[in-house]
Copies of this chain bind each other. A is one copy, B any other.
């Protein structure tokens, strides 16, 4: 304690500086680890140093940066949610991305967007130069209300607020309802960015096993009793990563339990338009009293045009709008106007019909190709782009992902989606990103343990015969 205090006083350790790890300090001073632990704890109690969970101890008096990568148990890079997101976001066009969470650019509603952009070039001045109103473009909110009504969700346009994207929608709700240390229930497996988002809120995460008809209700009830969570965040309609659909019976039991426990439910509905017919929505059962419904068009229309939405209990909308203004000052008009144009020009419905047909064909083909490698679907999804697959016995998904990445193929290993880390034998495939036969060559070689072939990702090395999948 004296040594560290002296170094702080002499400014050899500046405010905000990170102290050596307990182990390193013990070695440097030739004392036991427990001596250092006690010294650090006493110094922290005195306020001379501060601990940052998962990150270490820092000299007081300056900000300690929040490094999400350092919070929580260390995971292999291949199953780190942030690392996987970066791989997909940074990958050039030469990389194959069957693990990626969105459609290829050429599958999006390009024609509608181009028409919308041309219309915007002629729009009235304020549309292209001014801030949006706090809740966002009224005409888009009215359209969203009609779309929700078609799924049985009653939400007036005054209960709907536009956001910059679906993730920002969930983030605002977390800001609104969570305090650091609060517990949140997630499906296990679930969309991996939920884990990253909740780290940023310093929330505790409890996973509930997901079954082919929704979360395991008994486990859900037990988690409510054991952890008093504030929030449950889930995908409705088409679950990410499994492609499963909530059954009405599970929805009903879940909402009864949530009501009894005072639990708020966030239903993330960004895959809505992939469904041929709407599956049960929690918000429809609940009438938006404790369910918050969110969505966006990043997966069907454009990820480049940022716009999402929140439909929430009416008495929460004003506070959510205040939070949006405080943290991102409203929003712009352009993205909402462009989305509205692309959604209403008549081409969107046809576009989505074509996407659904194309996805169904890609699903069949992917299932066949994976089957030939001994990789089998956990469930054959009704719709959507995701296929949650079991690997042959004994194959570790993270190790497989590492081998394939070296050959220019980005996979999504199961444990990236799993709070309990029980999905090491699973991979999530995006069937729309799996149409290139080279992907299965690379996986096949990696499964057989051979990775010496020329990387699939390098154009110059690519043999002409495997250039492009025949479909």
Contacts and interface: CB of A to CB of B under 8 A. Distances in A.
A305 B334 contact: yes
Contacts of A68: 319, 322-323, 326
Nearest to A320: B65
Contacts of A69: 318-319, 322
A117 B121 contact: yes
B303 A332 contact: yes
Contacts of A334: 302, 304-306, 335, 338
Contacts of A326: 68, 82, 167, 193, 196-197, 199-200
A25 B108 CA distance: 58
B66 A303 contact: no
A67 B105 contact: no
Interface of A: 14-16, 59-69, 82, 85-86, 89-90, 93, 102, 105-106, 108-110, 113-114, 117-118, 120-122, 125-134, 164-168, 171, 175-180, 182, 193, 196-197, 199-200, 228, 230-231, 261-264, 298, 302-306, 316, 318-319, 321-323, 325-335, 338
B193 A127 contact: no
A328 to B, nearest CB: 5
Given A61-B262, A175-B66, A182-B63, A165 B329 contact: yes
Contact of A121 (B121, B302, B331): B121
Given A171-B328, A304-B131, A15 B261 contact: yes
Contacts of A113: 128-129
Counted per complex, copies of this chain come to 2
A272 to B, nearest CB: 18
A418 to B, nearest CB: 18
Nearest to A109: B129
Given A106-B125, A200-B327, A62 B117 contact: no
A391 to B, nearest CB: 27
A318 B85 CA distance: 13
A128 B228 contact: no
A262 B59 CA distance: 10
Contacts of A178: 63
Given A110-B129, A117-B117, A329 B90 contact: no
B264 A63 contact: yes
Given A110-B125, A164-B164, A179-B180, 19 more contacts: A15-B261, A59-B262, A62-B230, A65-B316, A66-B176, A89-B133, A90-B133, A90-B134, A118-B121, A129-B303, A130-B304, A132-B304, A167-B327, A167-B328, A167-B329, A168-B328, A196-B322, A197-B326, A306-B331
Nearest to A126: B105
A197 B164 contact: no
A424 B341 CA distance: 46
Nearest to A329: B167
Q: Pick the most buried of A63, A66, A178, A263: most chain B CB atoms within 10 A of its CB.
A: A63
Nearest to A120: B117
- 7 cross-chain pairs, A with B, having the tightest CB-CB distances, nearest first: A15-B262, A62-B262, A108-B129, A63-B177, A196-B326, A63-B230, A117-B121
B62 A264 contact: yes
B325 A89 contact: yes
19 contacts: A61-B228, A65-B316, A66-B175, A67-B319, A68-B319, A69-B319, A82-B325, A85-B329, A89-B325, A105-B125, A114-B122, A114-B128, A131-B303, A164-B306, A164-B328, A165-B332, A200-B326, A306-B331, A334-B338
